[in-house]
């Protein structure tokens, strides 16, 4: 282990008295982010005004920051760009892939995919109105459902509820054997473990930056297009900043060079500044160390909870290779149990219908937090402390 996780921990602000096991939903504040955003506001926006687009490098930020993410997802340099939201990037990837595989009309996904990906696919199919359909199967049935009727396989590498991890290389290989293009959603992968989009053969990949990458609420998404498709992919969302020459103000669209064509409108500079600062932490992180620590933490949590809370059922695969960096348990009263945990400072989240979800983010979570979380959860389960009216009233959970 060469990565100093005490040093990475020191680069985050975590509130007193909180054990934060929800960094897979919204990562915590990197200490450097505030100063970097203030710089973007005062020294750049305030002083440079419109000239910030050139002088402060705003215009190149989506590609520059995208390159920093490329390393984390195993992508070739120059083939990742930031912008919009994950849902928008899903639409772009799907629309491009469908167009590149004419004659086939099926988008294959699984029931463990994040619903927004499915909704975007539905919206695209409805817009195309050419017989394109979204077909979903159980996560373990994706491999078997790949055949020559399928145009695109769209899967999220790690299931947002169970933490189950698809085998990217194996699924993609099979997809390619039967002429299917692969779109990978890395929402729960990027920053969670070493991802290999190039090695795994992904055709497209998309992800968000506000989970394991800690860019803050509503931080921009990223999209990767394999170099072999870079000049062939056509974004349905063809905005001016994806144009070959945005400032020529031509009346007709011509796709920009490579990944640049996946840009749409004006990039969100304040959010990008926060993300840029958040990525500094990663410069000193070896991703194999990250994975080793993640597995150590998740194994420890599973063993602790299974030992102390027999009424909770593990929903996450036990095999290391089959999971991401989260652990989920099922319980019919999962909602109330999570509320009781949150009231005691252990923040995880609940996912309908019965999932208690805990994210283990090695940059700032260690064995001490794991052990304390186990102790508090065990006490709640042993005493039935979750069984109170105030924990059962459903507020919106995010």
Chain residues 247-276 in contact with a second copy, contact rule CB under 8 A? 247-253, 264-272, 274
Is 185 a residue of the active site? yes
Residue 398 CA to its chain's centroid (Å): 15
E strands of 173-316, at which residues?
A: 181-185, 204-208, 221-225, 313-314
| Contact flag: residue 228 with a second copy (CB under 8 A) | no
Residue 210 is a catalytic residue: yes
Please tell me the count of residues contacting a second copy according to CB under 8 A. 95
Pick one of 69, 70, 80, 88: the residue that binds a second copy (CB under 8 A): 88
- Name the token pair of 50: 């419109």
Q: How far apart are CA 346 and CA 18, in angstroms?
A: 6
Taking the complex as a whole, how short is the minimal distance between the CB of residue 381 and a second copy, in angstroms?
22
Query: Does an H or E element contain 349, and which?
Result: strand 349-351
Report if residue 104 touches a second copy, rule: CB under 8 A: no
172 is in an annotated binding site: no
Tell me which residues in 19-38 interact with a second copy (CB under 8 A). Answer: 20, 22, 25-26, 28-29, 33-34, 37-38
State the DSSP H helix or E strand holding residue 107, giving kind and residue range, or none if neither.
strand 106-110
Interactions with a second copy, residue window 349-378 (CB under 8 A): 349, 351-352
Is the Cβ of residue 10 or residue 303 nearer to a second copy in the bound state? 10
Q: Which one, 284 or 397, has the nearer CB to a second copy?
A: 397
Element of type H or E holding 154: strand 150-156
Q: Is 393 in the site for a second copy (CB under 8 A)?
A: no
* In the complex, minimum distance from the CB of residue 46 to a second copy, in angstroms, rounded to a whole number: 4
| CA distances, 105 to each of 55, 96, 99, 108, 153 (Å) | 46, 13, 10, 10, 11
Q: Which of 3, 9, 45, 289 binds a second copy (CB under 8 A)?
A: 45
Q: Residue 34 catalytic? A: no
Q: Which pairing describes strands 133-137 and 106-110: parallel, antiparallel, or unpaired?
A: parallel
The closest of 242, 291, 245, 281 to 262, measured between CA atoms, is 242
Quickly list DSSP for 191-227.
TTB---TTTTT-SEEEEESSSTT---TTPPEEEEE-G
How is residue 106 annotated by DSSP? E
Contacts (CB under 8 A) with a second copy, residues 132-161 = 136
Tell me: does residue 85 bind a second copy (CB under 8 A): yes
The least CB distance from residue 225 to a second copy, in Å, is 16
User: In the complex with a second copy, which residue's Cβ is closer, 54 or 383?
Assistant: 54
CB of residue 86 vs a second copy: minimum separation in angstroms?
6
CA distances, 369 to each of 26, 87, 174, 341, 365 (Å): 18, 33, 40, 13, 6
Annotated binding site for pyridoxal 5'-phosphate: 86-87, 114-117, 156, 185, 188, 210, 240, 266
Annotated binding site: 86-87, 114-117, 156, 185, 188, 210, 240, 266
> Which residues are designated catalytic?
114, 185, 210-211, 357
């Amino acid at each position: 282990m060469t990565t100093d996780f005490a040093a990475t921990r020191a680069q985050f602000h975590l509130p007193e008295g909180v054990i934060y096991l929800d960094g897979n939903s919204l990562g915590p504040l990197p200490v450097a982010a505030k100063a970097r955003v203030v710089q973007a506001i005062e020294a750049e926006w305030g002083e440079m005004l419109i000239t910030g687009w050139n002088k402060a490098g705003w215009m190149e930020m989506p590609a520059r920051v995208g390159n920093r993410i490329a390393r984390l997802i195993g992508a070739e340099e120059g083939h990742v760009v930031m912008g919009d939201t994950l849902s928008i990037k899903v639409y772009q990837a799907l629309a491009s892939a469908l167009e590149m595989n004419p004659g086939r009309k099926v988008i294959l996904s699984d029931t463990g995919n994040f619903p927004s990906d499915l909704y975007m696919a539905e919206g695209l199919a409805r817009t195309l109105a050419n017989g394109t359909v979204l077909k979903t199967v159980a996560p373990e049935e994706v491999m078997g459902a790949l055949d020559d009727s399928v145009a695109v396989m769209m899967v999220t590498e790690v299931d947002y509820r169970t933490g189950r991890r698809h085998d990217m290389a194996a699924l993609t290989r099979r997809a390619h054997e039967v002429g299917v293009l692969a779109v990978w959603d890395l929402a729960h992968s990027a920053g969670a473990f070493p991802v290999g989009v190039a090695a795994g053969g992904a055709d497209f990949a998309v992800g968000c930056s506000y989970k394991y990458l800690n860019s803050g609420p509503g931080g921009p998404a990223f999209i990767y297009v394999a170099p072999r498709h870079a000049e062939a992919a056509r974004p349905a969302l063809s905005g001016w900043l994806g144009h070959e020459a945005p400032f020529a103000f031509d009346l007709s669209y011509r796709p920009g060079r490579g990944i640049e064509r996946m840009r749409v409108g004006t990039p969100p500079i304040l959010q990008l500044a926060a993300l840029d600062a958040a990525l500094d932490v990663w410069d000193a992180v070896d991703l194999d160390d990250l994975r080793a620590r993640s597995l150590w933490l998740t194994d420890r949590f599973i063993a602790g909870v299974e030992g102390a809370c027999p009424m909770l059922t593990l929903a996450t695969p036990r095999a290391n290779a089959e999971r991401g960096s989260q652990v989920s348990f099922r319980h019919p009263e999962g909602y109330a149990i999570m509320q009781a945990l949150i009231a005691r400072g252990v923040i995880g989240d609940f996912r309908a219908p019965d999932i208690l979800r805990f994210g283990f983010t090695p940059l700032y979570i260690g064995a001490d937090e794991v052990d304390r979380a186990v102790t508090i959860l065990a006490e709640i389960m042993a005493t039935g402390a979750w069984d109170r009216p105030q924990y059962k009233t459903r507020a919106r959970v995010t």
